[in-house]
């Protein structure tokens, strides 16, 4: 894994806004994967895949969502608007086909792209993916504090927004607070992974970059994730593979199963004993499923 800055980053103009996109991996665009980063994170998250992507001949386009990193904040955005940004990104790079990789909070953006752009997306891999939080049976499995916050955001209450802004502010101004999140929400395998200096540097850098413009972008992203996503997963015809750790305590496997049950022919790969950061352990497996 690399933690240096030897990546190419470009600004793409879409609908009078800028999308910040980093190009990683092989860089020749013969086999191209679009990366949908997690939450709260940024395009820099994809650095953990850079070396293996190079070895497999894969180019990765990793894009900051609006309000994250260097992408323009867009207060009216919806999850279903994301495919339009992807279309314009592909036009910018003169690409006609891509695969998509979505991690954790990037899941709805990967799924909506597969749903709305079947002629452009060849396959989708979702790792440690969240499901719609509108489903009562999913909410029941979350920790009480998480369930309370999501409920407040779904009701668009001032209390929920204040809590979200407070939590995001902590992560922005006190990056070390992310360690508390890991300690409370992740399992022992995840905690061991982030004790590695390279892993910690990559994900820490990605989280810091998420708040480069402040907290508005991440808070809006959480609001969108907590409410109806605006599309039907059963309409997805693109091949989809779900990869999930069986001991993921942050995004339980039941979320992955809820998504997979709605998509005809969805493939499931479970990683025994791994937690939310299973992607770090199975990087090669993930990328091989995109080929």
**Residues 265, 37: Cα–Cα separation, whole Å:** 24
Q: How far apart are the first and last CA of the chain?
A: 20
pLDDT grade, residue 164 (50/70/90)? low
Instruction: Kindly state the greatest CA–CA separation across the chain.
Output: 48
pLDDT of 269 above 60: yes
**Residues 77, 82: Cα–Cα separation, whole Å:** 8
The pLDDT assigned to 145 comes to 58
Domain topology for 8-288:
Rossmann fold (3.40.50)
**Could you tell me which residues are beta bridge partners of residue 205?**
none
- List C-alpha distances in Å: 105 to 5, 61, 222: 24, 17, 9
Reduced to 3 states, what is the DSSP secondary structure of residue 226? helix
Least confident of 31-35, 94-98, 130-134, 164-168: 164-168
Query: With 0-12 CB in 10 A as exposed, 13-18 as middle and 19+ as buried, what is 81?
Result: middle
pTM: 0.90
The pLDDT assigned to 26 comes to 95
Q: What is the dihedral of CA 42, 271, 194, 25, to 10 degrees?
A: -50
Q: What would the mean pLDDT of 85-103 be, rounded to a whole number? A: 98
Q: What is the dihedral of CA 166, 220, 33, 51, to 10 degrees?
A: -10
How crowded is the C-beta side of 75, counted as CA atoms within 13 Å?
2
Whether the CB-CB separation of 137 and 257 falls below 8 Å is answered with: no
The pLDDT assigned to 177 comes to 52
**Residues 21, 23: Cα–Cα separation, whole Å:** 7
pLDDT grade, residue 14 (50/70/90)? very high
Phi, psi of 104 (to 5 degrees): 50, -110
pLDDT grade, residue 153 (50/70/90)? low
pLDDT grade, residue 205 (50/70/90)? confident
The residues, ordered by sequence, that sit 6+ positions from 161 with a Cβ below 8 Å of its Cβ are 152, 153, 219, 223
Bigger pLDDT: 262 vs 138: 262
Whether the CB-CB separation of 249 and 276 falls below 8 Å is answered with: yes
The pLDDT assigned to 133 comes to 77
The pLDDT assigned to 289 comes to 98
Bigger pLDDT: 274 vs 140: 274
Tell me what percent of the residues of the chain surpass a pLDDT of 70. 81
pLDDT grade, residue 40 (50/70/90)? confident
**What is the DSSP code string of 237-264?**
-S-EEEEEETT-SSS-HHHHHHHHTTST
| Alpha helical stretches, state H, the chain | 50-56, 82-92, 107-116, 136-139, 144-154, 158-173, 177-185, 188-193, 197-210, 216-226, 253-260, 278-281, 283-288
Least confident of 84-88, 138-142, 192-196: 138-142
The pLDDT assigned to 195 comes to 82
pLDDT of 155 above 60: no
pLDDT of 58 above 80: yes
Whether the CB-CB separation of 227 and 252 falls below 8 Å is answered with: no
207-252 confidence digits (pLDDT tens): 889 988 888 898 899 889 888 999 999 999 999 999 999 999 888 8
Whether the CB-CB separation of 90 and 63 falls below 8 Å is answered with: no
Query: With 0-12 CB in 10 A as exposed, 13-18 as middle and 19+ as buried, what is 144?
Result: exposed
């Amino acid at each position: 894994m690399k933690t240096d800055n030897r990546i190419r980053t470009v600004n793409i103009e879409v609908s009078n806004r800028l999308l910040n996109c980093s190009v990683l991996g092989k860089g020749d665009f013969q086999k191209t994967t679009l990366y949908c980063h997690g939450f709260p994170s940024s395009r820099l998250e994809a650095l953990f895949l850079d070396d293996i992507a190079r070895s497999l001949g894969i180019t990765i386009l990793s894009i900051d969502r609006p309000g994250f990193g260097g992408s323009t904040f867009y207060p009216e955005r919806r999850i279903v608007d994301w495919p339009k940004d992807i279309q314009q990104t592909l036009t910018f790079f003169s690409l006609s086909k891509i695969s998509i990789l979505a991690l954790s909070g990037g899941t709805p953006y990967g799924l909506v792209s597969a749903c709305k752009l079947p002629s452009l997306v060849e396959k989708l891999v979702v790792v440690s993916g969240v499901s719609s939080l509108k489903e009562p049976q999913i909410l029941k499995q979350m920790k009480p504090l998480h369930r309370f916050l999501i409920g407040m955001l779904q009701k668009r209450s001032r209390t929920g927004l204040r809590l979200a802004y407070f939590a995001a502010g902590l992560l922005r101004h006190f990056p070390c607070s992310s360690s508390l999140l890991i300690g409370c929400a992740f399992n022992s395998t995840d905690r061991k992974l982030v004790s590695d200096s390279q892993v910690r540097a990559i994900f820490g850098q990605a989280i810091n970059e998420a708040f480069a413009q402040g907290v508005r972008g991440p808070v809006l992203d959480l609001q969108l994730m907590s409410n109806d996503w605006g599309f039907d997963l059963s309409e997805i015809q693109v091949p989809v593979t779900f990869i999930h750790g069986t001991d993921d305590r942050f995004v339980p496997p039941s979320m992955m199963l809820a998504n997979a049950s709605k998509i005809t022919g969805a493939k499931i790969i479970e990683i025994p004993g791994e937690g939310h950061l299973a992607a770090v352990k199975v990087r090669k497996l993930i990328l091989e499923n995109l080929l």
